[in-house]
Amino acid sequence: MSEEQGGTIEGLLNETRTYEPSASFTSAANINDPDVYRRASEDPEGFWAEIAGELDWYEKWNTVMDWNPPWVKWFDGGKLNVSYNCVDRHIKGWRRTKAAIIWEGEPGDERILTYQDLYREVNQAANMLKRLGVEKGDRVAIYLPMIPELPITMLACARIGAPHSVVFGGFSPDSLADRINDCGAKVVVTSDGGYRRGSVVPLKDNADRAVENTPNVEKMVVVQRLGRHVHPVRMRTGRDVWWHDAIQAGNGGYCEPEQLDSEHPLYILYTSGTTGKPKGLLHTTGGYLVGAYLTSKWVLDLKDEDIYWCTADIGWVTGHSYIVYGPLANGATTVMYEGAPDYPDKDRFWDIVERRAVTVLYSAPTAIRGFMRWGAEHVERHDLSSIRLLGTVGEPINPEAWIWYREHIGRNETPVVDTWWQTETGAVMIGGLPGITTMKPGSASHPFPGIEPDVVDAQGESVPLGQGGFLIIRKPWPAISRTVWGDDERYVEQYFSKFTPDIYFTGDGARRDEDGYYWLMGRVDDVLNIAGHRLGTMELESALVSHPSVAEAAVIGVSHDLKGQAVAAFVTPRGNVEPTWDLAEELRQHVADKIGPIARPDRIYFTAELPKTRSAKIMRRLLRDVAEGRVVGDTTTLTDPSVLEDIKKQYEGTEE
């Protein structure tokens, strides 16, 4: 563990408050028999197979799990279709007229799609994609705002067996192009734009710039979200088609779902790692759906009467698993909101909760800290009595934020589930079961049934309770990502080589307390967590050095009250470039242009040199020490110890 986390660990381990679910919550919960933990750990395959049996399969599997470390297959031989399970299955009975998606646009417009509506739209979109030449196995890139066409396109892709790759609408043209090229998408689905904090996000303009550098792209489908009067876009003849035209070209109608192998690729989702470009994690069909389905049912306790809202963006894995696939596989009602939490006012979320009578809310620590700062008066203006369960994901939640969430949003009554997982894990891995677990604020509590994590030292040996170490997972689970798209080696290298090939390394540090509760301590590698979003230091550094004035750059995460971590960049300018305030501004903007606004560094520090070891490795630990105002650690391996003094002076000079 890095030394800077020491203080936090001690603080967290002194947390003694506990919260039990109420008897009424427990008795109504989807899962309330604690014996489930024993059953799942004694026979994980039997456990998962039983759950898989709750979904619809065209053909049953031959083997539940086929493990050849690190490679694994789940439900091999089985055939199913995710879109069938999320849509068709529900229109056979009374859910046909139930709301599947309640959508609210930022300007206040709304669309409510019943399962029957969703069925019709997914079928039409699937036929449209086929007419545009998309075949089973082809990749489709999706670059859309949070509008219903986003889940519709995902489900349409799943229906015809074309893996999708959703790219977050906040990413730049360069980031989009990299992702399109990496997965080789031949169709891009985008929109003329979306709304964010009252302004227009020009997605089509960005996509136009991206596809200048993506030779594979044959067609671009454009949803009209804004309209000509708000933001006109250029349509390129032969390549671009409007969604509303393309969808009507056929006569709508039914699109037979493909009967897909359980291991057929469902989607590719890019996430930052420790090296170079983001990697495309591949999720497949059967195992992923089982994981998303069951965790939604048990951790989020989704029931038919619920109005459930996950506030994430579908551009991230949380949205994939817990706005789209998990809730819809359960036949739940899922709320989708397009815009910002403070538009038109800081009570927008609570206004939505009240008007829609949201019962289960799944949000993130960074959002909660923002609400705390804005003040409880924005919450108190609204009746939130519909809420019965709260969830959180994305980064460690500090106990104070957990308690605030429960007190102000959950009336001091509802359970709060903190859920630890990753793009790679596909579904929740650690997080209590709200009808069973006694929660401790700040702890993700226990592994989900059937999941076997451990906390180990550098040799891979379990550490005693109370001690910190690396968080690993000892056995495969159905929703694990199967590989890095097009790069098996990188997958093995990144996740299965720190210890032995049967041990999955998460990249996180954790501690288990005396009661066996897990306390997550953040990344132990060069990945930052900025407001719940993953960014690699390498990616940020490459963006900085791509600027003509930069010779070298080192990026670190520094603690930040709202965002959890913020980006601080140490930059050595080229030759005779003057380090000015304007240049710092330009560099911040440059990174935002290259990657996306979420990557914009909070601070830039110019330095004539970076502290390096004799083997030319940048000593980030020392930069972190300087940035966080700690006594600088051992510098004896530095080539030139005076470098650090210079940086420190600079740093102190710029600190307000």
Q: How far is the CB of 504 from ligand WTA (least distance, A)?
A: 12
For residues 225 and 534, which CB has a smaller minimum distance to ligand WTA in the complex?
Answer: 534
Nearer to ligand WTA (CB atom), residue 117 or residue 525: 525
Decide if residue 484 touches ligand WTA (CB under 6 A).
no
Report the C-alpha gap between 399 and 413 in whole angstroms.
Answer: 16
With tokens 């891009």, the residue in question is: 188
End-to-end CA distance of the chain: 30
Closer to ligand WTA by Cβ: residue 122 or 599: 599
**Least CB distance to ligand WTA at residue 462 (A):** 20
Q: How far is the CB of 505 from ligand WTA (least distance, A)?
A: 11
For the chain, how big is the Rg over CA atoms in Å?
24
Q: 195 vs 504, which CB is nearer to ligand WTA?
A: 504
- Mark residues 403-442: x for contact with ligand WTA by CB under 6 A, - for none: ---------------xxxxxx-------------------
Dihedral sign computed on CA atoms, order 207, 103, 353, 413: negative
- Asked if residues 131 and 246 have their Cβ atoms less than 8 Å apart, the reply is yes
Q: 85-88 — which CB contacts under 8 Å span 24+ positions?
A: 85/55, 85/56, 85/289, 85/293, 85/329, 86/155, 86/158, 86/324, 86/325, 86/328, 86/329, 87/115, 87/118, 87/119, 87/122, 87/155, 87/328, 88/119, 88/257
CB distance 330 to 293 below 8 Å: yes
SS3 of 556-592: the string is EEEEECCCEEEEEEEEEECCCCCCCHHHHHHHHHHHH
3-state secondary structure of 50: helix
SS3 551: strand
Of residues 194-223, which lie at the interface with ligand WTA (CB under 6 A)? none
Does position 363 bind ligand WTA by CB under 6 A? no
Short-list 188, 153, 148, 158, CA closest to 171: 188
Q: Cβ neighbours of residue 201 under 8 Å, at least 6 residues apart?
A: 145, 169, 170, 193, 194, 195
Q: Which of residues 276-335 bind ligand WTA (CB under 6 A)?
A: 316-318
Given the complex with ligand WTA, which of 263 and 418 has the nearer CB atom?
A: 418
Residues 236-275 that bind ligand WTA (CB under 6 A): 271
**What are the phi and psi torsion angles at 87 (to 5°)?**
-130, -65
Cα 378 to the center of its chain, rounded Å = 27
Q: Does 526 bind ligand WTA (CB under 6 A)?
A: no
- Is 529 a binding residue for ligand WTA by CB under 6 A? The answer is yes
Q: Under rule CB under 6 A, how many of the chain's residues touch ligand WTA?
A: 23
Shortest Cβ distance from residue 425 to ligand WTA (Å)? Answer: 8
Rounded least distance, CB 339 to ligand WTA, Å? 21
Contact pick of 78, 170, 370, 394 for ligand WTA (by CB under 6 A): 394
Q: How far is the CB of 364 from ligand WTA (least distance, A)?
A: 8
Q: State the nearest-atom distance from the C-beta of 325 to ligand WTA, in Å.
A: 14
Q: Does residue 393 touch ligand WTA according to CB under 6 A?
A: yes
448 sits near ligand WTA (criterion: CB under 6 A): no
The Cβ of residue 6 has, within 10 Å, a number of other Cβ atoms equal to: 12
Q: How far is the CB of 365 from ligand WTA (least distance, A)?
A: 8
Piece of the chain touching ligand WTA by CB under 6 A; list 27-35, 481-489, 500-508, 632-640? 500-508
Site string for ligand WTA, 584-623 (x = CB under 6 A): ----------------------------------------
* Least spacing, CB of residue 112 vs ligand WTA, in Å: 27
- CA angle, 425 then 428 then 432, to 5°: 150
523 counts as binding ligand WTA under rule CB under 6 A: yes
- Which position among 409, 479, 520, 622 is part of the footprint of ligand WTA (CB under 6 A)? 520
Site membership for ligand WTA, residue 127 (CB under 6 A):
no
What is d(CA 268, CA 137) in angstroms, rounded to the nearest whole number? 12
Kindly state the smallest distance separating residue 620's Cβ from ligand WTA, in Å. 17
The alpha carbon of 621 is separated from its chain's Cα centroid by a whole number of angstroms, namely 27
Tell me the C-alpha distance between 601 and 603, whole Å. Answer: 5
Q: Which residues bind ligand WTA (CB under 6 A)?
A: 271, 316-318, 393-396, 418-423, 444, 506-508, 520, 522-523, 529, 534
